Amino acid sequence: MSLTPQLVQPQTLDVGSDASARRIAYLLQRGTDDAKPTLVWLGGYRSDMSGTKAVEIERHARETGCACLRLDYSGHGASGGAFRDGTISRWLEESLAVIDHAVRGPMVLIGSSMGAWIALRAVQELRARGEGNRVAGLVLIAPAPDFTVELIEPNLTEVERASLAERGYFEEATPYGPDANIFTAALMADGRANVVLSGMIETGCPIHILQGMADPDVPFTHALKLMEHLPADDVVMTLIGDGDHRLSRPEDLERILAAIDGVMAAA
């Protein structure tokens, strides 16, 4: 009897040391075709590896013979660590540690929202190591690179600015769950240290961007701006007129899976 993805017990990897140590949970599904890249899921802010898109991508990987890796950042899902300690640098470190531990051979990074920022930074770090050829392609869903700098900081209210200065964080109501989003001063400062939209981004691989034009969180103009910073790469963009931020409807999932197949074919 085969277990459904939801019933599989995650594996864990310890990342960091001393006070910064945290236990990161991940799920690795082995592939049946070694010639195909591993699909690596990088989720968004406060999302986890049990979400609709992540599970559907793993199912697609199983059907097509690909390996699939999903992980939870610290403070998310099944991983340890406090969410308020999270920063882009911290979550990037965890993602690369799990990738280095679990993935052999080429991979396609699939980043959703903040996960697209993590994916782009991961490519930069791998290229700096001389390992850029490990990334065979990128699929970026409602990409939110530099969201702290580009989308949050310019729109802060005086109350939110005061909360950041006095308490070190501010809260924002969200339609995606009962708990408010928490944005810390550390996340804001670290975001400025991880900007990718400051110059040309070179990935050396095919990229497919999917963006909803009815996205209330990340405007489609942000995806267009990202595309302008990718002049050296083979980039395809799919704009979905009535698409929201989640892009989790059946028709959206079909587009995402087709984009993954297209990137693999172009690699």
* pLDDT reading at 1 higher than 70: no
Mean pLDDT of the 129-139 span: 98
Residue 213 has pLDDT above 90, yes or no: yes
- pTM for the model stands at 0.95
Sorted by where each begins, the domain ranges of the chain are 9-145+200-266
Do residues 210 and 242 make contact, with C-beta atoms less than 8 angstroms apart?
no
141 φψ region: left (φ > 0), alpha (ψ -120 to 50), beta (else): beta
Residue 9 pLDDT greater than 50, yes or no: yes
Which CATH number fits the domain 9-145+200-266, given the four candidates 3.30.870.10, 2.40.30.10, 3.40.50.1820, 2.160.20.10?
A: 3.40.50.1820
Backbone angles phi and psi of 13, in degrees to 5: -140, 130
Q: Quick one: tokens of 69?
A: 């890796």
Is the per-residue pLDDT at 5 higher than 90? no
Give the per-residue pLDDT at 7.
56
Convert the pLDDT of each residue in 64-122 to its tens digit.
999 999 999 999 999 999 999 999 999 999 999 999 999 999 999 999 999 999 999 99
